[in-house]
Structure 1
Amino acid sequence: MSADPNRLPPPPLPQAGWALFFDVDGTLLDFAHTPEGVHVPGDLVDDLQRLHEALDGALALVSGRRIEDLDALFAPLQLPAIGLHGLQRRGPPGAGHAPPHELATVLAAARDLVAKYPGALVEDKGITIALHWRNAPVAEEPLHEFANSALIDLPGYGLQLGRDVIELRPDGHDKGDAIAALLDTGSFHGRLPVFIGDDFTDEHGFDEVNARHGISVLVGARAGSAATHALHDPAAVRAWLREAAFALAGEAAVT
């Protein structure tokens, strides 16, 4: 049964035995008109570093962006990371996945289509293609139709729907699978998993941490989520993260 996002409690402050997983766009960062236009507050980088150290490294970014782009956004940090909704994990980026040659043809056709709808956007992620209509709502139906028809030329690919975006991507991987894999490694192992996200694509992650009796946190008031807790917006997430970073860093200094 899905919870009413308007009635979900805020999450408690993190404990030393937690493993934290953060979505990025719409969670840590406010949305912008284009993916390249997002703003990363300088104090957010400092707070992530502080919290990463306080948790002995058990903090990861979980994003639809490429890991290379996450590193550029949060430089000089290079946090444990899951990119492209689970297709990339920190290590060899995109290991085991090479784009089919048909993807270049689909990409060119997608660019021709969005050119007809000012504000629509094609995002080339190397092995996936994201079609955005946040700034061109009239393009939503044509982009959906295009994405569905493109699957004919892309065996092994499927569609992933997000907030004002649809993505063509290889089947068989999601954020939940990637979180599960990280929880079996290194400093993440044996910790209580906590995942904070806002989008439909984060539901796989919520399901995974819920199955492990962890804490799932929805950002915003989207209905139909499996999340057990909620924060109002990215500003609330950043405030929660900052309080947690200083609290845990203080505990570590005392011990």
Structure 2
Amino acid sequence: MKSEPDVLQLDQFAVFLDFDGTLAALEERPEEVLPEPRRTHLLKKLQHQLEGRLAIVSGRSIEVLDFLTEDSVIALAGVHGLQRRTATGQRDDIPPHTRLAECFAELNELRKEYPELILEYKDSSLAVHFRQIPQVEIIVKQRLEALAFRFQLELQHGRAVVELKTPGRHKGDAVAAFMQESPFKGYRPVFAGDDLTDETAFQAVNALGGITVKVGEGDSVARYRLPTVESVLTWLEESCNE
């Protein structure tokens, strides 16, 4: 893995970006992340200069991404690819698993034992954040593994979070789908992300001969690395100014 990617010549690329940990600093609670003027200005500039070849690919829902980006990006993939909105604004979603509500009720009981746990219900998935109480990581993982097995749900591990999700798609699938559509088709893809959930997108972009950027530390199949959210924003701003 090379240390840092070169500044992009935007007329050659389609750009895909994770959100939390890539465009926004990680916070203790998901709702503590808010819209930010610098980020919104950058996304509007990228959306314009890339002529629509920009997509956010995140674990957040599309509705939350619209709020956090202040409606600056049209093409979005939410809930790790289970939700997708194309560059023309059309929705392409996997229907939520019917047993997630039962899982939520069971995990609420676990939260009564450990009030510091944060449950995030995202329609097609259910995330349990244990950043504030890391000593219960094994308990959380065992409980979610049992629920995933019982209800045939997928288990998605992330940084201080475990998620039960509807089977069907991941971030790599979302990127591959965008790359088959206008205006992305025919351009070289770029993907930047920071977490385990981004590895499938790195694999998809590597297979297409694109540029993959791991944000922060940790093993990855990405070919480049940037150390921080600040360095990602600076890299993208410099690319806009080329």
Would you say same fold, with TM above 0.5?
yes
In structure 2, runs of 5+ residues without a counterpart are: none
1:116 aligns with 2:113: yes
- Please point out which of 132, 136, 139 is paired with 1:135: 132
CA deviations over 1:42-63 (Å, ceiling 9, x no partner) = 0111111111111111011000
TM alignment of 1:1-255, pairs within 5 A? 3=1, 8-15=2-9, 16-90=11-85, 91=89, 93=91, 95-100=93-98, 102-155=99-152, 157-223=153-219, 225-247=220-242
SS in 2 for 1:187: coil
Give the structure with higher Rg (CA). 1
Cα gap change, 1:32 to 1:152, in 2 (>3 Å): same
Extract structure 1 runs of 4+ deviating beyond 6 A. Answer: none
Tell me if the contact between 1:118 and 1:136 (Cα under 8 Å) persists in the aligned partners: no
Q: Which has the higher contact order (CA 8 A, sep 6+)?
A: 1
Tell me how far 1:94 sits from its aligned partner.
Answer: 6.3
Deviation at 1:93, TM superposition (A): 4.9
Deviation at 1:201, TM superposition (A): 0.8
SS at 2:162 equivalent: strand
Partner of 1:251: none
Q: Distance in 1 between matches of 2:82 and 2:232?
A: 25
- TM score, norm. by length of structure 2: 0.93
CA shift, 1:234, in A, is 0.5
Q: State which drifts further: 59-68 or 73-82.
A: 73-82
Partner of 1:253: none
Alignment TM-score, normalising by the size of structure 1 = 0.89
Aligned residue pairs total 238
8 Å CA contact retained: 1:30, 1:39: no
The CA deviation string for residues 179-228 of structure 1, in whole angstroms up to 9 with x for no partner, is: 011011111010010000000110001111111111000000112x1010
Deviates more, 1:91-100 or 1:60-69: 91-100
